[in-house]
A = this chain, B = another copy of it.
Amino acid sequence: MLLLGIDVGGTKVACALGDASGQVLDSRRRPTEASGDPVRDLERMAADVRSLVEESGHRLEDVAAVGVSVPGPLDTERGLVLNPPNLPGWDRAPVRDVLQAALGRPVTIENDANAAALAEWQFGAGQGTDSLVYLTMSTGIGGGLVLGGRVHAGRASAAGEVGHLPIVWEGEPCACGLAGCVEAYIGGAAWTRRLAAVTPADSRVAALAAGEPRPEHVVAAAKEGDAFALAEFERFNDYLARLLVILTFTLAPDVFVLGTIARAAGETLCLGPVRERVRAHVWDFLGQDLAIVPAALEDRLADLAGISVALEATR
């Protein structure tokens, strides 16, 4: 069974042709370059997909489903992208209908974090589990839920938007307009702003950063044992653990799959301490078998996110 995936990111659009086992037969990427006219943007994507399929020696008629991973919020029922900050002009963009008309194949859209959660569940770190929570922590913090083997998307596809869960009630202002969001404490952008203010000039972080300290410099410096960087990770792990404890009591998942910063930081610096802190703050029977693991796909995610959505649509 052939499946097509389209991953619409803030900077790149990836198109991939694959199968139900997660094998990617062929793929290509191009800059997103939103023209302001979503229909035009979508028709170009459809043209890319057509040539991808043809050049790889397959026929569009043999594609069972097309899955699109796209920034939310969405109206999945109508197949609309509502107004993602990274896609100017995409206000109520009729993604599903335009692609369906252009390709003649059934199209399903899903928000990017949900699609990533699904990909990790089908092909990555969450294979074989019943319930998975996926968190991606780069500039912002996104999340996706696969519960009982299905994506729980919720209203406007906004379930799993745990980056904006108030981890401190009426706390730090967040770029989203609210306050106290997890993202305002440990999202990459907020952390970068914090680092500009608190990084000691004589720390390893400052030396690595050459004036613009970012989370990746903290990761590198902490791995070298820099005290400031280690203290920053204490703080990061603390907020991350608080979030996972909240989600454990809400969802009782089998596994948390953590991408980007947590994954880059790794076992000793982040995953181990977070696991320990979570277990100390949940009931024994909830903590003992709870898996907290790094994301497995990352580089393959752009290709597999859309394919996962397509596969899910055929089930």
The answer to whether residues A283 and B252 also contact, given A152-B131, A154-B131, A155-B289 and a CB cut-off of 8 A, is no
Chain A interface size, as a band, is 35 or more
> In the assembly, what is the distance between CA of A160 and CA of B285, in Å?
15
Complex CA gap A131/B205 in Å reads 45
Contact residues, A109-162 vs B (CB, 8 A): 131, 145, 147-148, 150, 152-162
Query: Would you call A297 an interface residue if the criterion is a C-beta within 8 Å of the partner chain's C-beta atoms?
Result: no
Selecting from A7-15, A221-229, A241-249, the interface stretch reads A241-249
B residues near A178, Cβ cutoff 8 Å: 281-283
The 8 Å CB contact of A250, one of B82, B159, B286, is B159
Distance from A78 Cβ to chain B, minimum over Cβ atoms (Å): 14
Restricting to A264-300, which residues have a CB under 8 Å from any CB of B?
Answer: 281-283, 285-286, 289-290
Q: Are A169 and B242 in contact (CB under 8 A)?
A: yes
Docked-complex contact B245 and A166, CB < 8 angstroms: yes
**For the complex, is A5 an interface residue (Cβ under 8 Å from B)?**
no
Q: Write 5 A-B pairs (CB below 8 A) sorted by A numbering.
A: A152-B152, A154-B251, A156-B285, A166-B245, A178-B282
